[in-house]
Structure 1
Amino acid sequence: MARVKKNGNLSGTIGNIVFVNDGERAFVRAKPDRVKQTTQTKAAAGVFGLVSSREKTFRLQVLRMLGVPAPQYFAAKQRARIRKTVTGDTGGSAGTGTGFGNPQALAGFSFNPEMEWESCTNFFLTFEMESNGEMKVHLPELKWKNQIIPVKNSSSAVLTLVAITADLNKEAVPIKEVAKLELEISGTSAVPAQDWIFPVDAAEGWLLIIGCLKFGAPNQSSVMKEAFSAAYLWTGMLMSTHLSTFED
């Protein structure tokens, strides 16, 4: 409904026409078309909201645990990966038959697009789930400039491997550190080959092993603090009776 203002201009709407006043200017425009929501579009919006909320809670905890900043576009890219783990009846509303299933889509995903894991490392880990419920990770010998590819001005690096459990099907997205291994590598200090073994308790949710490589220099600059690479190296789904595993 339109009405006449004190200055003589019209304000409001008549049919599909909208009267707009911008200071001394007055003009008209057509009403924007309304998008008709269908059951499918409403469901998609619900799933998107669920993924966005859980991913944010999950991401903030993981970044805090690793002690690394959030690189540009990381959130959007990880959100897209986590969206691929959604299983169940996505034709209904979010939360009804919809859940976060196998985290296979995360395997190999890098945190820092400026320093992809493959550009900073030249080694591969092997993973083996033992019958007694222990995870065995075999690390080869790590040498500076051979298995560890240094970035400009760096003189050392700290490799951190952390195993965590996470349950995105719970609103609070509980995360627990299962095991952690830190190794220092430099031109004068190589790391011998070894096995990293830790127990894995059967539970609901995901088991994720993340690798994080932080570079350092004698005079640590603000730029060097951004010199890191991290990635999901192994992903698995914890269940009460067995552990489904996925490797990159």
Structure 2
Amino acid sequence: MNDKRYAARHRARMSKALMLQAQQNPENTDLNLGLPESLTGFDFNADCPWDKITRFYPEFKQLDTQQLECRLPDLKSGQEILFPKGIRSAELRMDSFTVNPMKKTIQLNVLSTYTVEISLSQTTLPALWTFGIPADPAWLIVLGTLIFKSDFPQRTAGTSGSSTYLFAKSVVL
């Protein structure tokens, strides 16, 4: 990746997500988790922005305080996923995790992973991905990653893939 501004871009987005915390009562960090929703849409690969290669939007619905549901439409190359030249397939991976950025020791708690292969010749059927949410106060985040696969070993950052935060929300029970 040649994005020399990545660290600054991510730091700025994280600062925005944490900004609300500074304005609230800092004594009860379990209830003042900031505004993680502002992370949604951050592009990890500036050379290949998520919204330039995808034309689908996962639908997230919190079923209750302990479960999140993600609905994916059918995915077809050239329609919902735009492959760069020379790309024949891709892997869509979505990882859900919780993290409490207000703790002294920050730990990432991986909850679930969903993976699907997308090819030029085949449509991927709609999918439903459901996973449990722990009872600890934290940010619940879903990270989407699309990794392109090519017959050519030398790829630029623009053809390697893209990642973004697809979902982010405070979980306060």
TM-score bracket, normalised by the shorter chain, equals: 0.7 to 0.9
Structure 2 residue corresponding to 1:206, chosen from 117, 120, 139: 139
Q: TM-score, normalised to structure 2's length?
A: 0.87
Count of residue pairs the alignment pairs up: 168
Q: d(CA) in 1 for partners of 2:54 and 2:123?
A: 14
Q: Between the two proteins, what is the percent identity of the paired residues? A: 26
Hey, what does 2:107 align to over in structure 1?
A: 174
Deviation, structure 1 residue 236 = 0.6
Q: TM-score, normalised to structure 1's length?
A: 0.62
Task: Describe how 1:17-56 pairs up with structure 2 within 5 A.
Answer: none
Q: d(CA) in 2 for partners of 1:174 and 1:143?
A: 36
Hey, what does 2:12 align to over in structure 1?
A: 80
Which consecutive unaligned segments of at least 5 residues does structure 1 have?
1-68, 242-248
Once the two structures are superposed, residues 216-238 of structure 1 have per-residue CA deviations (whole angstroms, 9 ceiling, x without a partner) of 11233243796111111111111
Contact 1:208 1:235 in 2 (8 A): yes
Deviation, structure 1 residue 152 = 2.2
Structure 2 residue corresponding to 1:144, chosen from 74, 77, 101: 77
Instruction: Describe the SS at the equivalent of 1:87.
Output: helix
Higher relative contact order (CA 8 A, sep 6+): 2
Which consecutive unaligned segments of at least 5 residues does structure 2 have?
none
Task: Describe how 1:98-113 pairs up with structure 2 within 5 A.
Answer: 100-113=33-46
Judging changes above 3 Å, is the alpha-carbon distance between structure 1 residues 97 and 238 closer, same or farther for their aligned structure 2 residues?
closer
Q: d(CA) in 2 for partners of 1:202 and 1:118?
A: 32
Contact 1:86 1:100 in 2 (8 A): no
Contact 2:48 2:158 in 1 (8 A): no
Greater shift in the superposed pair: 138-147 or 197-206:
197-206
Contact 2:48 2:159 in 1 (8 A): no
Contact 1:71 1:111 in 2 (8 A): no
State the AA in 2 paired with 1:81.
R
Contact 2:143 2:164 in 1 (8 A): yes
Q: d(CA) in 1 for partners of 2:166 and 2:74?
A: 18
State the AA in 2 paired with 1:208.
I
